[in-house]
Amino acid sequence: MASGRPMPRYSRVVCLNGSTRMPTLYDYLDSGNGYKIRLLLAQLKQPYRWIELDITRGATRTPQFLAKNLNGRIPTLELDDGTCLAESDAIMWYLAEGSPFVPADRLGRAQALQWMFFEQYSHEPYVATPRYIIRHLPPDSPRQAELPDRRARGRDALAVMDGHLRNRTYFVGERYSIADIALYAYTHVAPEAGFDLSPYPHVLSWMGRVASEPGHMLITDRPAS
């Protein structure tokens, strides 16, 4: 993937309104983790600057970006004062705390976090990573060999979700929350990772409900200026 051209550090900058008092989201359009933040910000109607970094060309491993996030990953949210926040689900918590997108009761908040940690530990490495390998690595990458094992564990995660949703409309408290956004992000594009979702009918109907929520946007929707 190396080339003689200088690496573009920022491939696109969009300012979503004219104010200077708004956060900046460092992101990559095809990232489901980044999409979580874009979707939540759209539904919160919160303006932000959007800066796309080409993660396939090392743009998050520059000294400039590592000063913002030592772990070198998008999404990273930069606040007005320069403070940077990493980890998609922590960023969602920051943005949504006190809003209807975070449960109002103590148990509900912990249950939302339970599903968000489930997503990062038991779902994302097995549903999102195969999609990345297929879409962004060359067909002869040795990482193609990881696909069968990862997909098997991805099916385990989808089965857990399907069982939980059997008699529920949303993951926590019968109400749409950041737990749904966290799990929707890579589940709805799981077919791009080679998953057949037809064995998970409760997941499919839940995805339909999530996509019908006011302010929904697609992972392919670039933040518009």
Residues making contact with a copy of itself (CB under 8 A): 70-71, 79, 83, 85-91, 93-94, 97, 106-107, 109-111, 113-114, 116-118, 120-122, 124-125, 160, 163-164
Q: Which residue, 54 or 94, is less far from a copy of itself as judged by CB? A: 94
> Shortest distance, CB of residue 129 to a copy of itself, whole angstroms?
11
Q: Which residue, 14 or 125, is less far from a copy of itself as judged by CB? A: 125
Q: Which residue, 8 or 163, is less far from a copy of itself as judged by CB? A: 163
Residue 77: beta bridge partners?
Answer: 25, 85
> Shortest distance, CB of residue 88 to a copy of itself, whole angstroms?
8
Question: What is the SS3 assignment for the chain?
Answer: CCCCCCCCCCCEEEECCCCCCCCEEEECCCCHHHHHHHHHHHHHCCCCEEEECCHHHCCCCCHHHHCCCCCCCCCEEECCCCCEEECHHHHHHHHHCCCCCCCCCHHHHHHHHHHHHHHHHHHHHHHHHHHHHHHHCCCCCHHHHHHHHHHHHHHHHHHHHHHHHCCCCCCECCECCHHHHHHHHHHCCHHHHCCCCCCCHHHHHHHHHHHCCCCCCCCCCCCCC
> Shortest distance, CB of residue 101 to a copy of itself, whole angstroms?
14
Q: What is the residue type of 169? A: T
Q: Which residue, 90 or 211, is less far from a copy of itself as judged by CB? A: 90
Q: Which residue, 79 or 211, is less far from a copy of itself as judged by CB? A: 79
Q: Which residue, 7 or 90, is less far from a copy of itself as judged by CB? A: 90
> Shortest distance, CB of residue 120 to a copy of itself, whole angstroms?
5
Preceding omega of 75 cis (within 30 degrees of 0): yes
